[in-house]
């Protein structure tokens, strides 16, 4: 059985004046022990996909449809008790910004203790476990630091505290939402390596959200490329780099040096702007920026379907990209800034 199956997930922001389709029919699954990447430009729906899995969506956001099966049970249909038993114990999340996830008025011990609340350990055993967790994530002298507050920690150390908190309940699946983006570049690599080694050591599966192709190349087994709330392409990492079959993936790789193989290279925005999610035109959301687009691309969005076994693409003409070696150059609109 798959550990997690997401089927046709839709998550919208619904207000009186508009409906923003942040996640618009997303399907993928996660195998035991694998690292699955969610890659895409900012605003493509990666975070909302992750948050939906734990039903951490705030109004006016709403999950409109789909299924999220964890070990065969639909999380979207669970009652509060069942959901509480999943959160932290089965599935944990690490957010991009540690300061928003950690509570400034609680010391580290109390903070991590919250993630152990439902375990049956005695207070003494919990203390031991917290020190063990802090040591695991590489915080020096955990016995003394345990009574300090988050503001006494550097950004990197705070992110380690958040990771320790996420690991408190020994989850089987870790959702890591751009876990190092808020950190200094000098320590991003360290923290990413730490997450990877903990994942291996504890035998977890992981969904890794990133806009960094270097991170994908180094850490992910399979990857889904997201754009405008949909998955454009999904395949194993090696194939994604060797033979991208969706023009958007080509554009992503072309927008940075060395076809993304350079470690730590960041995506530069592609020319043109992503579509307005509250007023999506018919057709493929990428067609206005795609030099390979034909008439049908402007009328209907292609289903996501296999181009080879295990390699899915949502393009009417995936065969066009096979021999396509040039970059997809997006025409720059007049007066438009590359931000």
Residue 47 contacts Mg ion per CB under 5 A: yes
User: Cβ contacts of residue 62 below 8 Å, gap of 6+?
Assistant: 11, 12, 13, 14
For residue 153, give both structure tokens: 């920690």
Q: Within the chain, what is the greatest distance between any pair of CA atoms?
A: 68
Among 25, 46, 95, 179, binds ligand ADP (CB under 6 A): 46
Q: Which x/- pattern over 268-307 shows residues binding Mg ion (rule: CB under 5 A)?
A: ----------------------------------------
Residue 42 contacts ligand ADP per CB under 6 A: yes
For residue 214, give both structure tokens: 């270097």
Interacting positions 252-291 with ligand ADP (CB under 6 A):
277
For residue 123, give both structure tokens: 């207070």
Compute the distance between CA of residue 193 and CA of residue 246 in angstroms, rounded to an integer. 30
For residue 311, give both structure tokens: 């390699």
Binding partner selected for residue 43 from ligand ADP, Mg ion, none, CB under the kind-specific 5 to 8 Å limit: ligand ADP
13 - beta bridge partners?
A: 20, 61
Preceding omega of 60 cis (within 30 degrees of 0): yes
Stretch that binds ligand ADP, among 42-50, 70-78, 195-203, 314-322 (CB under 6 A): 42-50
Binding partner selected for residue 86 from ligand ADP, Mg ion, none, CB under the kind-specific 5 to 8 Å limit: none
Smallest gap from residue 53 Cβ to ligand ADP (A)? 12
Binding partner selected for residue 22 from Mg ion, ligand ADP, none, CB under the kind-specific 5 to 8 Å limit: ligand ADP
Q: How many CB atoms lie within 10 A of CB 128?
A: 12
For residue 106, give both structure tokens: 């609680």
Residue 43 contacts ligand ADP per CB under 6 A: yes
Stretch that binds ligand ADP, among 38-46, 116-124, 190-198, 316-324 (CB under 6 A): 38-46
37, 217 Cβ separation under 8 angstroms: no
Binding partner selected for residue 20 from Mg ion, ligand ADP, none, CB under the kind-specific 5 to 8 Å limit: ligand ADP
Residue 180 contacts Mg ion per CB under 5 A: no
Among 4, 6, 22, 312, binds ligand ADP (CB under 6 A): 22
Question: Number of C-alpha atoms within 13 angstroms, CB side, residue 149?
Answer: 5
What are the CB-based long-range contacts (under 8 Å, 24+) for 316-320?
316/284, 317/292, 318/245, 318/246, 320/247, 320/292
Smallest gap from residue 19 Cβ to ligand ADP (A)? 10
Smallest gap from residue 313 Cβ to Mg ion (A)? 23
Residue 22 vs 163, nearer CB to ligand ADP: 22
Stretch that binds ligand ADP, among 36-44, 73-81, 280-288, 317-325 (CB under 6 A): 36-44
Residue 139 vs 251, nearer CB to ligand ADP: 251
Among 44, 159, 180, 237, binds ligand ADP (CB under 6 A): 44
Among 47, 159, 180, 237, binds ligand ADP (CB under 6 A): 47
255, 267 Cβ separation under 8 angstroms: yes
Scan for tokens 């046709």, then name that residue. Answer: 8
Q: Would you state the torsion angle of the CA atoms of residues 69, 73, 75, 77, taken in this order, to the nearest 10 degrees?
A: 120
Stretch that binds ligand ADP, among 46-54, 153-161, 251-259, 288-296 (CB under 6 A): 46-54
Strands 205-210 and 35-39 turn out to be parallel
Binding partner selected for residue 205 from Mg ion, ligand ADP, none, CB under the kind-specific 5 to 8 Å limit: none
Distances (CA, A) of 204 to 25, 133, 175: 26, 15, 10
Q: What is the DSSP letter of 103?
A: -
Residues that bind ligand ADP (CB under 6 A): 13, 20, 22, 40, 42-48, 277
Residues that bind Mg ion (CB under 5 A): 47
């Amino acid at each position: 059985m798959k550990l997690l199956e997401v089927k046709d997930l839709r998550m919208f922001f619904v207000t009186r004046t508009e409906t923003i389709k942040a996640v618009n029919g997303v399907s993928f699954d996660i195998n035991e022990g694998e690292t699955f990447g969610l890659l895409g430009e900012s605003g493509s729906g990666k975070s909302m996909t992750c948050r939906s899995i734990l039903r951490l969506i705030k109004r006016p956001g709403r999950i409109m449809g789909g299924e999220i099966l964890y070990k065969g049970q639909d999380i979207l249909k669970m009652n509060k008790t069942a959901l509480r038993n999943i959160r932290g114990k089965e599935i944990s999340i690490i957010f991009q910004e540690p300061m928003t996830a950690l509570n400034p008025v609680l010391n580290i011990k109390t903070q991590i203790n919250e993630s152990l609340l439902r375990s049956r350990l005695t207070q003494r055993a919990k203390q031991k476990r917290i020190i063990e967790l802090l040591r695991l994530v590489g915080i020096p002298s955990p016995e003394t630091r345990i009574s300090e507050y988050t503001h006494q920690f550097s950004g990197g150390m705070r992110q380690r505290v958040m990771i320790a908190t996420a690991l408190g309940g020994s989850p089987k699946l870790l959702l890591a939402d751009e876990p190092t983006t808020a950190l200094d570049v000098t320590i991003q690599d360290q923290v990413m390596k730490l997450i990877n080694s903990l994942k291996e050591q504890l035998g977890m599966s992981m969904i890794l959200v990133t806009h960094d192709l270097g991170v994908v190349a180094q850490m992910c087994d399979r990857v889904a490329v997201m754009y405008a709330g949909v998955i454009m392409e999904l395949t194993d990492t090696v194939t994604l780099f060797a033979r991208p079959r969706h023009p958007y993936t080509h554009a992503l790789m072309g927008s940075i040096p060395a076809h993304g193989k350079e470690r730590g290279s960041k995506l530069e925005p592609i020319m043109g702007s992503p579509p307005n999610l509250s007023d999506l035109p018919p057709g493929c959301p990428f067609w206005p920026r795609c030099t390979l687009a034909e008439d049908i691309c402007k009328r209907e969005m292609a289903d996501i379907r296999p181009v080879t076994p295990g390699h899915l693409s949502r393009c009417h003409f995936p065969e066009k990209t096979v021999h396509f070696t040039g970059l997809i150059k997006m025409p720059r609109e007049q007066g438009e800034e590359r931000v």
